[in-house]
Amino acid sequence: MTESTVLMSDDNVVRGVVKWFDLGKGFGFVIADGVAQDILLHVNVLRRAGRAGIMAGDAVELAYEETAKGFQATDLISVETEEGDDDAAPTQEADPGEDLKAARLKWFDKGKGYGFVNVFGHDEDVFVHVDILRAAGMLDAQVGEAVCVVITRGAKGASATAVYPWDSAQAWLTAQD
């Protein structure tokens, strides 16, 4: 377990759990007992606390205030993550109905919560979010590691909706050729 701490403010202080956080959007929400609604957690609050990102399920202590738009975090006091649990995540198996593409991990920053893969034979970078790698049990994947990905295309380009370890998808890919 790792923990980081910053100075506490005089605002309302609660302990809660990160419901979700999207680094690309710059915000997420925290659920806390005794607070009537989710608390908005903006990326600027993370940065002031010296953090580049935060993950769903992380336990937090934060100060918040009620605004016209609802509850908003003002200070991130502490964050507790279960790093060991990431490695223990079960490896998922490729579904024969998925359009798998062979790829390599170009780069990934766990602190920022995202990275990119390159599909073999294509120049385009494919965005991959930390939650996708976490679901695959691959948070410790290394740059250059071969993987299989399922890709979707959106307004901002290609992004991975699933990632599989090369070994678990290799037989499936071979059967498709």
pLDDT at residue 7 is higher than 50: no
Range with top average pLDDT, 23-27, 108-112, 151-155: 151-155
Q: Which of 62, 61, 57 is nearest to 72 (CA)?
A: 62
pTM strictly above 0.85: no
Token pair, residue 36, equals 């009537």
Q: What is the mean pLDDT of residues 41-61?
A: 83
Q: By mean pLDDT, which of 102-106, 128-132, 138-142, 169-173 is the weakest?
A: 169-173
Percent of the chain with pLDDT over 70: 77
* Residue 150 or residue 94, greater confidence: 150
Q: Which of 129, 125, 126 is nearest to 112 (CA)?
A: 129
| pLDDT value of residue 46 | 83
**Mean model confidence pLDDT for the chain:** 79
Contacts of 77 (CB under 8 A, 6+ apart): 5, 6, 7, 8, 13, 49, 60, 61, 62, 63
